[in-house]
Amino acid sequence: MALAAMNMTMAALDWISVAFDAPLARAVIFGVHIDGHLVVEVLLVTVIQFQLTRKSFKPPKKPLTEKEIDDLCEEWVSEPLHPPITEDMKVKPPVLESAAGCHTIIDGKEVDSCVCSLEKYGVGSCGPHGFYRTIDVHLDCETRIAKFMGTPDSIIYSYGIYGISTIFSVIPAFCKKGDMIVA
């Protein structure tokens, strides 16, 4: 068995050496000596070109029979687009029980948060760090946004009438590839 394999290997090597010693493999064209490897390379390029230019195999399409269509329709089970709503998903909207004015009643409680925030922070205290005043609610909001986004930190910039300059100046200075900007 081993002797037969050895004889086959030797025969293959003899055939290859004969192929490379053929006159075609030893030709000189335009002063360039063409060895046997060039013949193999031309053959490979021809095969690659053939493979790239031929049409791909597409099995013929066979239309479904009426029985197959009926079977598929009977097996089909529709699934809901959204899972059922649980009590955790339900949010009770706030109910405004008085006219909007100096004192507002929402859900039976008088809301003084606007008055308290105006007394604590004043008016117009918004803006990015270092431009205007930075207040604790801005820092808290940035911390919460960073935690929600799963990032180490976040920055809030003004956007609107005066924010257009932020787009062209500050944002390109701090952002890099892969940063997410929500505007």
Q: What is the pLDDT of residues 6-34, one digit of tens each?
A: 788 888 767 666 666 666 556 666 666 66
Strands (E), the chain: 28-29, 32-33, 104-106, 109-111
* Higher per-residue confidence, 66 vs 163: 66
**Structure tokens given for 29:** 């064209």
Q: Where are the domains of the chain?
A: 2-53, 87-123, 124-183
44 pLDDT above the threshold of 60: yes
Percent of the chain with pLDDT over 90: 10
DSSP symbol at 106 = E
| Mean pLDDT across 58-85 | 87
- Phi, psi (deg, nearest 5) at residue 109: -115, 140
Distance CA 132, CA 126 (A): 7
Per-residue confidence (pLDDT) for residue 144, from 0 to 100: 92
Give residue 68's pLDDT band: very low, low, confident or very high (50, 70, 90). Answer: very high
- For tokens 């192929």, the residue is 19
- What residue type is 3 in one-letter code? L
Give residue 71's pLDDT band: very low, low, confident or very high (50, 70, 90). Answer: very high
Distance CA 104, CA 173 (A): 43
Burial of 92 (0-12, 13-18, 19+ CB in 10 A): exposed
Per-residue confidence (pLDDT) for residue 125, from 0 to 100: 46
What is the SS3 assignment for 89? coil
64 pLDDT above the threshold of 70: yes
What would the pLDDT profile of 75-121 be if each residue is shown by its tens digit? 988 888 888 888 887 877 777 666 666 666 776 666 666 667 767 76
